[in-house]
């Protein structure tokens, strides 16, 4: 049996926007092609896929599941993911939730390896050599890694190894991988080879932040009773593009042009470069090949200027729409500031919000100081900036020894405390330290001197 597979992982607090997929055969043959779907924290995507005709048996859902009934959710039992949007939570199945929403389980599901699973429903992707795979993964990220709601981060090395195994097992015909995270290009740059027949698109280069969208106080803003951002710029760009076009006619390359233009507005303070990796020849294929299409869009006529290389009118349009984007790494800070700002003077809520905001700022300052001191202890004060800011040329992996990078992150966590979302901005510095020859003893001693005072 041939399978169509869509694999998606989303950060808990940044859910997908509208996206309709028609579940129908895309080619007539002697075998039936089925779409398999793996979703993580993407309630709206599930609802749309179901409306498109996919069966629950072919949909695998990862969801930490702490939003709908969170005490800070102004609409208990309901999740929305765009301003004034509908509930997307009702009826969503949950194959891997809470402590089972891990990188290990995610990779095991991709490989179809039930024996490697720890908890959950046990559903995995069973694909064959004629199958098409679409992966969408979104979470907080940093150089060389992306996060999962529970447990260890997913390192680029481990992801690439799993994709190689999938390729070696002849378990797919071709694959498309969309990745939303800060510094997401580092997950593929210098690692994903063309012969694996995978086309990857990332929200940013190996050294850029990506951006949250639909944030309070910005345009376009959620309703007044919401205090968090509802989406991310890269995701809403490709999904909102997909929901209005006939995807039998629009190619992956055309969509890349639309999304890149929307996320890259050079004259604003926030922008990221949407990147392409792997086998770029696959970008010539229609998006429909991988994710189907909404039959309501079958007669949609695309305008040439939508995909032109320098559409000034379109850039002006997107600059208005994206005026409220926030760096993903600063989303928590934005939330705390908004909560403090809107609380009544003298109220207990105001006092609590101020305390949390101050703690967040102090925590960031402490991490900055820790990393500065660790680098200075090992490499000298004069090399601190170089270690933090150095970026390898395009086409080179972030680090030569991935085990070294894991070791430094682990040692820092054991002595100084686990790296926060903000603190993970320094994984590039740790990679540079590895490339410069730091060893375990040096990192341990420097961490002790910096963090245990």
- Which CA distances in Å does 215 have to 191, 192, 409, 421, 439? 34, 34, 31, 18, 42
CA–CA separation, 435 vs 207, rounded Å?
17
Q: Which residue out of 3, 13, 44, 140 is catalytically annotated? A: 140
CA–CA separation, 261 vs 308, rounded Å?
10
CA–CA separation, 313 vs 311, rounded Å?
6
CA–CA separation, 136 vs 203, rounded Å?
11
CA angle in degrees (0–180, nearest 5) for 61-121-152: 70
Structure tokens, 70: 């969170």
CA–CA separation, 73 vs 50, rounded Å?
25
Contact 20, 296 (CB under 8 A): yes
Burial of 417 (0-12, 13-18, 19+ CB in 10 A): middle
Q: Which residue out of 43, 101, 182, 215 is catalytically annotated? A: 182
Q: Which letter does DSSP use for residue 102 in this model?
A: B
CA–CA separation, 59 vs 7, rounded Å?
9
User: Which residue in this structure is represented by tokens 């429903």?
Assistant: 121
CA–CA separation, 278 vs 49, rounded Å?
27
Burial of 204 (0-12, 13-18, 19+ CB in 10 A): buried
CA–CA separation, 60 vs 117, rounded Å?
13
Closest CA to 322 of 200, 225, 421, 240: 240
Instruction: For residue 317, indicate whether it is catalytic.
Output: no
User: Which residue in this structure is represented by tokens 């730091």?
Assistant: 438
Instruction: For residue 416, indicate whether it is catalytic.
Output: no
Q: Which letter does DSSP use for residue 154 in this model?
A: E
CA–CA separation, 35 vs 62, rounded Å?
17
The answer for residues whose C-beta is within 8 angstroms of residue 382's C-beta and 6 or more apart is: none
CA–CA separation, 409 vs 427, rounded Å?
7
Q: Known catalytic residues?
A: 140, 182
């Amino acid at each position: 049996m041939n399978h169509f597979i869509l694999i998606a992982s989303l950060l808990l607090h940044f859910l997908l926007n509208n996206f309709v997929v028609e579940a129908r055969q895309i080619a007539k043959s002697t075998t039936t092609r089925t779409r398999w779907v793996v979703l993580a924290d993407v309630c709206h995507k599930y609802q749309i896929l179901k409306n498109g005709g996919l069966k629950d048996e072919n949909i695998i859902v990862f969801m930490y599941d702490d939003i709908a009934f969170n005490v800070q959710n102004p609409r208990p039992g309901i999740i929305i993911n765009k301003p004034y949007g509908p509930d997307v939570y009702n009826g969503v199945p949950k194959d891997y939730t809470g402590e089972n929403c891990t990188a290990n389980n995610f990779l095991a599901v991709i490989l179809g390896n039930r024996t490697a699973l720890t908890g959950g429903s046990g559903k995995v992707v069973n694909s064959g050599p004629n199958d098409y795979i679409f992966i969408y993964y979104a979470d907080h990220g940093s150089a060389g890694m992306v996060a999962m709601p529970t447990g260890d981060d997913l390192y680029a090395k481990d992801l690439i190894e799993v994709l190689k195994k999938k390729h070696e097992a002849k378990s797919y015909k071709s694959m498309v991988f969309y990745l939303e995270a800060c510094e997401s290009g580092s997950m593929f740059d210098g690692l994903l080879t063309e012969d694996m027949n995978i086309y990857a698109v990332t929200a940013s280069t190996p050294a850029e932040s990506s951006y949250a969208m639909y944030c309070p106080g910005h345009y376009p803003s959620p309703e007044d009773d919401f205090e968090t951002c509802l989406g991310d710029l890269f995701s809403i760009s490709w999904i909102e593009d997909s929901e209005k076009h006939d995807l039998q006619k629009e190619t992956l390359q055309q969509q890349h042009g639309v999304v890149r233009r929307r996320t890259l507005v050079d004259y604003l303070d926030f922008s990221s470069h949407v990147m392409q990796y792997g086998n770029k020849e696959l970008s010539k294929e229609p998006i429909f090949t991988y994710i189907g299409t909404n039959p309501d869009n079958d007669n949609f006529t695309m305008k040439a200027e939508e995909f032109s290389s320098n559409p000034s009118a379109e850039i002006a349009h997107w600059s208005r729409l994206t005026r409220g984007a926030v760096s993903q790494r600063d989303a928590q800070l934005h939330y705390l500031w908004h909560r403090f700002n809107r609380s009544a003077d003298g109220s207990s809520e105001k006092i609590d919000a101020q305390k949390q905001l101050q703690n967040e700022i102090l925590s960031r300052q402490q991490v900055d100081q820790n990393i500065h001191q660790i680098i200075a202890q090992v490499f000298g004060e004069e090399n601190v900036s170089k270690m933090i800011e150095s970026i390898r040329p395009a086409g080179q992996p972030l680090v030569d020894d991935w085990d070294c990078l894991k070791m430094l992150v682990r040692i820092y966590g054991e002595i100084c405390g686990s790296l926060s979302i903000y603190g993970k901005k320094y994984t590039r510095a740790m990679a540079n330290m590895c490339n410069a020859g730091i060893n375990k003893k040096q990192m341990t001693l420097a961490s002790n001197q910096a963090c245990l005072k």
